[in-house]
């Protein structure tokens, strides 16, 4: 009973904060003690469970994680500081529930980490100010909460050391290590501060404890402390502190790439994009600078690490043994698996009376979250394209080539995670990347004349051991070596991009789509063939170059022994073998890229490339036959070579769009209707009506579209009053099927009006001319209205069948929602959207050639008002001059 009083809950939260904060201590023994203390929470929950049968997870939502932390304190073999922190962070990343304790511990650590980061960033420039207490960085108080005493305990200890006259290097290093531990802790536990979807009552967990779930990046996250933390970390990627700058950069790289909680990935990519966008001016031109380049380079490493996390975890699990591997086998990019730790003695089966039937762990443990964090990353395409564009604009140098290699590796890693990512315009995005990356292939041929201008930029970069060359030759060889590595990286990335990728020319090149695709195919295929030929020639050149270097720079003398000569020959042989392996790897990548290119574009590429099978060069013939063999092994469909290939493709597309579900729904069509942007609604309406009518399914389309419209309407008067897709479809049906009907309906009436053009129809006393008679005008208007209305009634037999279908569909769906007003809703729509617009603007509907005279146009406008009131079953109330027609209505 005492455990439920506020003081007991408050004490529980305080202890939780203390234990969490000690996890980032630089004292391994203190860390292990804190880890072992988490078992006390589990024991307490077990005791309370036995006393009042309250579900364990109600008492301790993160029960299994706490038990695993405690078990790790005794089972971890190594006592190394880094290994201990790695283990802790891997466990913290799997915490599912935010509690008052872990949230407060995260925030208090965040405040302390900010202070330490400021201290390290300016050290030792203002160390005197800091040591004298003039900076907030030395304040041990990190929070206004009552926990400030122990939050700053470790930090305050180093702060006291800094206040001494002579701060030792050892103490400063400890400050850095503590900051590093804090940063890792904040990354791994950051998900507890994310906005969550509340799930009241799940597993009986109280309302103040919520399960962490992923949501797309929203405006709420821009005010989240995790967003501020990640944004601050990214800024330190360009930290230039003379002592800690490089260490801080490398640690941020590692911690964001490997230890960040997967649920924070959307924030990470969003913050990266915000920073990268600043490297482009308002016209889209790249703003190159040393700092911007450094940021891009570091960000590439982080993003690649994130994309490769899944493969790394599988490899790590295989090393850790079957228990851990099983526990993480279903992990998706670090999303936690909630099986209990290896020494959890409380992991029971469903015999536990308090366990939930849907749980997979003991005592009602929560299910594993199967959501994919990367699927919620927005604007990934624009971010990657901007990174590539920036790398394209860098000046030629050895460092630039190295950055481009890493860009290619990033693209390759991203495409390997293609199924886990959300793309908005994937085909266009991948085509653009292929265009950009192929520009870097064979760069040694295009830019060789710039190599000698590199100067000392490559002076610190070595080549193969045992080969002595001049400084100039060193630069040339190093640049050639890197450009060949760039060829390899580019081809591997391009090969993954080209897999199942139909070529898509630029919008400006789409005059003849098939010809544009053929030209684009020929451009890439020719480049790849040239690279294959270059691979064959390059090995001979490298072998000759190595022999020349050895002959010219290391001529034997009488003092060189046979043993030295043998060592040199072995070194040369090893270099040649390495070159051969690299050339073969590059050749294989090129073959794969060519195969993927041809397989995905067989209809536009085979005729362009088939002649290579009869080329006079045996190497070219062999390369093409290898490509052709590979696409045959892939099972490429050659039916796309038929003359009717485009028609067949469109027919399959039409069948997909017009697919009908078991209950008459149109899943594909309605999905398109829900996501189309306003500027494409007119075009989509035209396409829908055309293809559904051709398939004799127009009524099915109208039923589904109108049902969605009526479902969203508050009353029958607002149906089809907006400018959405249902209104667009209906308007296109009126235009397509009703034009001839409207002409036959109104052309005779308008001709009669033109003959009697001296008549006036103005009934507003304030607008009538002096020589006109108001009663006469009212009579003229009533006679004209009667003629129009009677013509509409008499034309019912000529009303188009497609529009009859439209009215019938609208009647059916309105009757289900508003059973008292189906006819009135239909009549309102027909006159508002079909009859009256043609009557008021006959020249725009092709009924007359020119715009009517003002007097006739005024009469038609007033007639349309009366007709609309007839359709709406209303009388005039607001317009006083029209009340005289209420008797007629």
pLDDT in tens, 486-543: 999 999 999 999 998 989 888 655 557 778 888 898 899 889 888 888 777 665 565 5
> How confident is the model over 870-887, as a mean pLDDT?
88
How many angstroms separate the CA atoms of 181 and 188, rounded?
Answer: 11
Query: CA angle, 289 as apex, 284 and 292 as ends, to 5°?
Result: 80
Query: CA angle, 558 as apex, 553 and 563 as ends, to 5°?
Result: 80
> How confident is the model over 139-159, as a mean pLDDT?
38
For 572-602, letters b (16+ CB in 10 Å) and e give beebeeebeebbeebbbbbbbbbbbbbbbbb
% of the chain with per-residue pLDDT over 90:
36
**Could you tell me the two tokens for 57?**
């997870």
pLDDT at 323: 39
pLDDT at 109: 96
> How confident is the model over 323-347, as a mean pLDDT?
36
| Phi, psi (rounded to 5 degrees) for 638 | -90, 0
Res. 202: pLDDT tops 60: no
- Name, in order, each residue with C-beta under 8 angstroms of 120's C-beta and a sequence gap of 6 or more: 175, 176, 179, 241, 244, 248
**In angstroms, how far is the first alpha carbon of the chain from the final one?**
78
By CB atoms closer than 10 A (0-12, 13-18, 19+), residue 50 is exposed
Q: What is the 3-state secondary structure (H, E, C) of 464-485?
A: CCCCCCCHHHHHHHHHHHHHHH
pLDDT at 241: 82
Of the candidates 862, 835, 831, the one whose C-alpha atom is nearest the C-alpha of residue 847 is 835
Coil, strand or helix at 339: coil
The full set of domain ranges for the chain reads 2-344, 379-641, 667-885
> How confident is the model over 808-821, as a mean pLDDT?
91
**Could you tell me the two tokens for 448?**
């060789």
pLDDT at 807: 94
Res. 214: pLDDT tops 50: no
**Are 363 and 348 in contact, with CB atoms under 8 Å apart?**
yes
> How confident is the model over 447-452, as a mean pLDDT?
47
% of the chain with per-residue pLDDT over 70:
72
pLDDT band of residue 442 (cuts 50, 70, 90) is confident
pLDDT band of residue 342 (cuts 50, 70, 90) is very low
How many angstroms separate the CA atoms of 828 and 612, rounded?
Answer: 68
Listed range (417-426, 561-570, 728-737, 807-816) with the worst mean pLDDT: 561-570
**Could you tell me the two tokens for 888?**
């007629």
Instruction: Compare 78 and 467 and report the one with higher pLDDT.
Output: 78
- The structure's pTM equals 0.67
pLDDT at 161: 40
**Could you tell me the two tokens for 265?**
């990935």
**Could you tell me the two tokens for 712?**
């969203």
Radius of gyration, CA atoms only, the chain: 38
pLDDT at 769: 84
pLDDT at 452: 46
pLDDT band of residue 851 (cuts 50, 70, 90) is confident
pLDDT at 107: 95
pLDDT band of residue 168 (cuts 50, 70, 90) is low
Coil, strand or helix at 607: helix
For 293-303, letters b (16+ CB in 10 Å) and e give bbbbbbbbbbb
Residue 611 CB coordination number (10 Å): 9
Res. 153: pLDDT tops 70: no
> How confident is the model over 546-561, as a mean pLDDT?
54
Residues linked to residue 97 through DSSP beta bridges, in sequence order? 211
pLDDT band of residue 872 (cuts 50, 70, 90) is confident
| Phi, psi (rounded to 5 degrees) for 793 | -65, -45
**Are 97 and 209 in contact, with CB atoms under 8 Å apart?**
yes
Res. 164: pLDDT tops 60: no
Of the candidates 213, 9, 5, the one whose C-alpha atom is nearest the C-alpha of residue 97 is 213
Instruction: Compare 216 and 177 and report the one with higher pLDDT.
Output: 177
pLDDT at 370: 42
Of the candidates 529, 676, 670, the one whose C-alpha atom is nearest the C-alpha of residue 593 is 529
**Tens of pLDDT, residues 281-334:** 999 999 999 999 999 999 999 999 999 986 565 445 444 444 333 333 333 333
How many angstroms separate the CA atoms of 871 and 173, rounded?
Answer: 84
Strands of 89-150, DSSP E: 97-98
Instruction: Compare 235 and 76 and report the one with higher pLDDT.
Output: 235
pLDDT band of residue 474 (cuts 50, 70, 90) is low
Q: Which listed CATH number (1.10.260.40, 1.10.4190.10, 1.10.506.10, 1.25.40.10) goes with 667-885?
A: 1.10.506.10
**Tens of pLDDT, residues 258-274:** 999 999 999 999 999 99
pLDDT at 22: 95
**Are 413 and 304 in contact, with CB atoms under 8 Å apart?**
yes
Q: How many residues does the chain have?
A: 889
pLDDT at 322: 40
**CA distances to 16, 408, 501, 510, 624 from 597, in Å:** 57, 18, 7, 20, 13
pLDDT at 574: 73
Res. 680: pLDDT tops 80: yes
pLDDT at 813: 92
Residues linked to residue 888 through DSSP beta bridges, in sequence order? none
Res. 806: pLDDT tops 90: yes
Res. 648: pLDDT tops 80: no
Q: Residue written as tokens 């007003």?
A: 821
Tell me the pairing of strands 210-211 and 97-98.
antiparallel
> How confident is the model over 770-774, as a mean pLDDT?
83
Coil, strand or helix at 218: coil
**Could you tell me the two tokens for 84?**
């201990």
Across the chain, what does the average pLDDT equal?
Answer: 77
> How confident is the model over 178-189, as a mean pLDDT?
95
DSSP structure string for 73-95: HHH-----HHHHHHHHHHHHTT-
How many angstroms separate the CA atoms of 885 and 869, rounded?
Answer: 10
pLDDT at 554: 52
**Could you tell me the two tokens for 95?**
């915490």
Res. 157: pLDDT tops 50: no
pLDDT at 61: 82
Res. 360: pLDDT tops 60: no
> How confident is the model over 439-464, as a mean pLDDT?
52
Res. 155: pLDDT tops 50: no
pLDDT band of residue 634 (cuts 50, 70, 90) is low
pLDDT at 805: 93
Listed range (49-58, 759-768, 855-864) with the worst mean pLDDT: 49-58
Res. 465: pLDDT tops 50: no
pLDDT at 518: 85
CB-side exposure of 563: number of CA atoms within 13 Å? 0
């Amino acid at each position: 009973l005492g455990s439920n009083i506020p003081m007991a809950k408050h004490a529980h939260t305080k202890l939780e904060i203390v234990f969490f904060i000690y996890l980032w201590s630089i004292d391994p023994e203190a860390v292990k003690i804190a880890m072992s203390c988490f078992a006390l929470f589990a024991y307490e929950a077990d005791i309370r469970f036995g006393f009042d049968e309250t579900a364990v997870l109600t008492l301790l939502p993160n029960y299994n994680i706490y038990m695993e932390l405690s078990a790790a304190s005794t089972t971890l073999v190594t006592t190394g500081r880094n290994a201990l922190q790695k283990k802790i962070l891997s466990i913290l990343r799997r915490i599912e529930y935010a509690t008052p304790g872990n949230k407060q511990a995260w925030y208090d650590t965040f405040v302390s980490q900010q202070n330490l980061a400021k201290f390290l960033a300016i050290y030792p420039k203002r160390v005197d100010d800091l040591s004298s207490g003039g900076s907030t960085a030395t304040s041990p108080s990190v929070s206004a909460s009552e926990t400030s005493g122990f939050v700053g305990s470790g930090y305050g200890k180093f702060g006291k050391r800094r206040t001494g006259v002579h701060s030792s290097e050892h103490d400063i290093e400890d400050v850095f290590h503590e900051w590093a531990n804090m940063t890792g802790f904040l990354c791994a536990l950051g998900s507890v501060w994310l906005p969550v979807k509340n799930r009241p009552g799940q597993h009986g967990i109280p309302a103040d404890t919520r399960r962490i779930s992923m949501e797309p990046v929203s405006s709420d996250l821009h005010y989240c402390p995790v967003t501020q933390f990640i944004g601050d970390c990214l800024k330190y990627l360009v930290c230039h502190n003379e002592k800690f700058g490089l260490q801080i950069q490398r640690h941020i790289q590692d911690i964001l790439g490997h230890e960040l909680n997967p649920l924070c990935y959307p924030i990470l990519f969003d913050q990266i994009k915000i920073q990268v966008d600043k490297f482009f001016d308002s016209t889209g031109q790249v703003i190159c600078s040393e700092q911007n380049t450094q940021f891009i380079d570091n960000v590439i490493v982080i993003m690649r690490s994130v994309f490769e996390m899944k493969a790394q975890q599988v490899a790590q699990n295989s090393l850790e043994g079957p228990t851990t591997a099983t526990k993480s086998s279903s992990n998706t990019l670090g999303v936690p698996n909630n099986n209990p730790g290896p020494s959890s003695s409380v992991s029971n089966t469903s015999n536990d009376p308090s366990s939930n039937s849907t749980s997979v762990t003991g005592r009602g443990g929560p299910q594993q979250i199967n959501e994919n964090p990367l699927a919620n990353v927005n604007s990934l395409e624009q971010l990657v394209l901007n990174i590539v564009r920036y790398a394209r604009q860098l000046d030629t140098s050895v460092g630039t080539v190295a950055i481009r290699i890493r860009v290619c590796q990033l693209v390759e890693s991203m495409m390997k995670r293609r199924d886990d990512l959300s793309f908005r315009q994937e085909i266009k995005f991948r085509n653009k990347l292929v265009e950009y990356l192929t520009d870097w292939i064979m760069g040694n041929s295009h830019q060789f004349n710039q190599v000698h201008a590199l100067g000392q930029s490559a002076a610190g970069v070595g080549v193969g051991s045992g080969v002595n060359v001049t400084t100039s030759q060193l630069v040339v060889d190093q640049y050639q070596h890197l450009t060949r590595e760039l060829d390899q990286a580019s081809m591997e990335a391009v090969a993954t991009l080209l897999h199942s990728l139909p070529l898509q020319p630029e919008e400006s090149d789409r005059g003849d789509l098939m010809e544009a695709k053929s030209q684009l195919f020929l451009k890439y295929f020719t480049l790849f063939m040239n690279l294959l030929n270059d691979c064959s020639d390059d090995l001979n050149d490298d072998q000759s170059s190595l022999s020349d270097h050895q002959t010219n720079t290391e001529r034997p003398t009488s003092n060189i022994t046979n043993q030295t000569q043998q060592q040199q020959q072995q070194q040369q042989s090893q270099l040649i073998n390495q070159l051969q392996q690299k050339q073969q790897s590059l050749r294989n990548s090129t073959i794969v890229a060519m195969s993927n290119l041809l397989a995905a574009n067989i209809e536009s590429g085979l005729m362009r490339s088939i002649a290579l099978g009869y080329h006079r060069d045996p190497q070219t013939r062999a390369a093409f036959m290898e490509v052709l063999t590979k696409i045959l092994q892939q099972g490429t469909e050659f039916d796309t070579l038929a003359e009717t290939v485009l028609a067949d493709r469109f027919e399959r597309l039409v069948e997909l769009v017009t697919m009908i579900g078991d209950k008459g729904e149109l899943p594909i069509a309605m999905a398109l209707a829900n996501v189309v942007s306003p500027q494409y609604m007119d075009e989509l309406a035209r396409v829908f009506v055309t293809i559904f009518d051709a398939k004799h399914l127009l009524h099915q389309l109208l039923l589904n579209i109108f049902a969605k419209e009526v479902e969203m309407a508050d009353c029958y008067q607002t149906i089809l009053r907006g400018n959405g897709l249902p209104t667009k479809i209906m308007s296109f049906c009126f235009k397509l099927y009703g034009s001839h009907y409207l002409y036959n309906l109104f052309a005779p009436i308008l001709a009669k009006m033109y003959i009697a053009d001296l008549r006036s129809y103005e009934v507003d006393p304030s607008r009538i001319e002096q020589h006109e008679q108001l009663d006469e005008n009212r009579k003229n208007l009533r006679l004209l209205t009667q003629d129009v209305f009677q013509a509409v009634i008499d034309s019912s037999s000529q009303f188009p069948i497609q529009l009859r279908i439209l009215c019938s569909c609208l009647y059916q769906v309105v009757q289900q929602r508003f059973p008292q007003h189906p006819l009135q809703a239909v009549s309102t729509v027909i006159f508002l959207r079909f009859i009256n617009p043609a009557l008021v603007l006959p020249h725009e509907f092709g009924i007359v050639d020119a715009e009517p005279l003002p007097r006739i146009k005024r009469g038609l406008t007033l007639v349309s008002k009366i007709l609309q009131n007839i359709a709406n079953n209303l009388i005039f109330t607001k317009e006083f001059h029209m009340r005289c027609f209420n008797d007629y209505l």
